[in-house]
Structure 1
Amino acid sequence: MLARYHLVRGRRPEDDPLPEGKRYDTRKHTHHILRPTPEMVEEFLSDLSQAGFKRFRAAYLAALDERFAEQRERFDALAQEARQGDVFLGCNCPTAHQPDVRHCHTWLALEYFARKYPDLDVRFDAR
């Protein structure tokens, strides 16, 4: 199963425990295959309008397509890991500044995996 989870800075609330399974930090400063670039994130956070999200979405999906073409084995490995156990993609979204989790790169990554690997159990949680 592949899903997302919310990374928390500081102490995690007791009513929001970490999910059990493999958790990956996929934020912009990591080296994860699903990270957005810092430039994409900065541009989107400077314009959270629907048009700004549309630009972010297009840029992020283009980056995933490029990485998929160049490093398919990393995507396949992640999909296989999610077939064998629970895998979670982490980000700080939603935040006070960007409250719509459907505008988070992890949500877009889940949509991408659902398209590329139709046999994969991909779960969307709007928390």
Structure 2
Amino acid sequence: MLARYQIVRGHRPEGDPLPEGKRYDTRKHTHHILRPTPDIVEEFLSDPSQAGFKRFRAAYIAVLDERFAEQAERFEELAQEARQGDVFLGCNCPTARQPDVRHCHTWLALEYLARKYPDLDVRFGAR
């Protein structure tokens, strides 16, 4: 199973435990294959409008397409891991600057991986 979760700074709220399974921090400053680039994140956060999100989405998908072409084995490893157990992609979203979880790169990554690997159990809950 593949899903997302929210990374919380400090203590997690009572009643919102970390999900059980493999958790990956996929934020822009990491080296994860699904991380967005810092420039497209900053551009989106400077204009979080619907038009800004459309630009962010297109830029992020282009990043994923480029990485997939160059490093397909890393995507396949992640897909295989999700076939065998629960895998969660982490980000701070939703936040005050970006309150819509559907505009988070993790949501877009889940959509991307669901298209690339239709056999995966991809869940879009707002964790």
For normalisation by structure 1, the TM-score amounts to 0.99
SS of match in other structure, 1:71: helix
Equivalent-residue separation in structure 2 for 1:14 and 1:36 (angstroms): 30
CA RMSD of aligned residues (A): 0.6
Unaligned runs of 5+ in 2: none
Aligned to 1:124: 124
Equivalent-residue separation in structure 2 for 1:84 and 1:124 (angstroms): 18
Aligned to 1:72: 72
Equivalent-residue separation in structure 2 for 1:39 and 1:97 (angstroms): 16
Structure 2 counterpart of 1:86, one-letter code: D
Q: Following TM superposition, by how much is the alpha carbon of 1:22 offset from its aligned partner in structure 2, in angstroms?
A: 0.1
The CA deviation string for residues 67-121 of structure 1, in whole angstroms up to 9 with x for no partner, is 0000000000000000000000000000011100000000000000000000000
Equivalent-residue separation in structure 1 for 2:71 and 2:23 (angstroms): 21
Aligned to 2:63: 63
Aligned to 1:99: 99
Aligned to 2:7: 7
Structure 2 counterpart of 1:53, one-letter code: F
Aligned residues: 127
Superposition map of 1:103-114 within 5 A: 103-114=103-114
Aligned to 1:39: 39
Equivalent-residue separation in structure 1 for 2:3 and 2:32 (angstroms): 15
For normalisation by structure 2, the TM-score amounts to 0.99
Aligned to 2:21: 21
Q: Following TM superposition, by how much is the alpha carbon of 1:126 offset from its aligned partner in structure 2, in angstroms?
A: 2.6
Unaligned runs of 5+ in 1: none
The CA deviation string for residues 29-54 of structure 1, in whole angstroms up to 9 with x for no partner, is 00000000000100000000000000
Structure 1 counterpart of 2:23, one-letter code: R
2:3–2:89 contact (8 Å) kept in structure 1: yes
Q: Following TM superposition, by how much is the alpha carbon of 1:61 offset from its aligned partner in structure 2, in angstroms?
A: 0.2
